[in-house]
Amino acid sequence: MSRNLIIFTDSGDTIIDEGTQIFDERGIVVSADPIPGAGEVLRQLKEEGYRIALVADGAWESFQNVYRENGLADCFEEWIVSETVGEQKPARAMFDAAMEKMGLTEAHKSFIVMIGNNLSRDVAGANRYGITSVWLDWSPRYFHTPQEPDWQPDYRVKTPEELKLLIWQLEEGCGRKRELADRIACKGKQPFPI
């Protein structure tokens, strides 16, 4: 089943518990565990037909190692990694790369959510880009109070299970947007691009 909502997600302390990372001598993560429930939620969203892109800062090899080890590599339609993009979030280039790789246009922005643990990178980047920001406030490692106006998330959840429920609610809202757009298209207006 195809879904209306498109998911961009960070990795560290959003899906993978940074506290469990094991590094090699080059600084590459060779092993790490998902945060409780995150692997199951990611797999379920993929199986339910959501298009999911990894949009994360770090080394390509680290993400490959961790997601293969945990049997989650196939959950992502695309992998947008700062090492290959050449910039880190909140840089626009990360989101531009995700849009391009996923074949998305400006018209899709109201259907995209960015999920992340970092207010200054994930949330600020999504807010500046004009997509919905979801803060997974699970980890004690980063800021917990917005220090800039664009660090304020659209939504805040504490666990992957809460995230799944939010995704379902947002999907329902996207379905209503899509129905409205389809009705407008039937009245001779420009067809909706999804």
Looking up residue 113, the CATH number of its domain turns out to be: 3.40.50.1000
Ramachandran quadrant class, 32 (left: phi over 0; alpha: psi -120 to 50; beta: rest): beta
Tell me whether residue 194 is in a domain: no
Tokens of 170: 């947002």
CA atoms within 13 A on the CB side of 51: 17
pTM over the 0.85 mark: yes
Tell me whether residue 191 is in a domain: no
**CA atoms of 114 and 96, how far apart (whole Å):** 13
Tell me whether residue 192 is in a domain: no
Tell me whether residue 136 is in a domain: yes
Average pLDDT, the chain: 90
Please, which pLDDT band fits residue 142 given cuts at 50, 70 and 90? Answer: confident
Mean pLDDT of 101-111: 95
Per-residue pLDDT at 101 exceeds 70: yes
- Percent residues over pLDDT 90 in the chain: 79
Mean pLDDT of 61-83: 98
- Total domains, the chain: 1
pLDDT (0 to 100) of residue 144:
74
Tell me whether residue 83 is in a domain: yes
Tell me whether residue 175 is in a domain: yes
Question: Domain span at residue 123?
Answer: 6-186
Cis ω for the linkage preceding 90 (within 30 of 0): yes
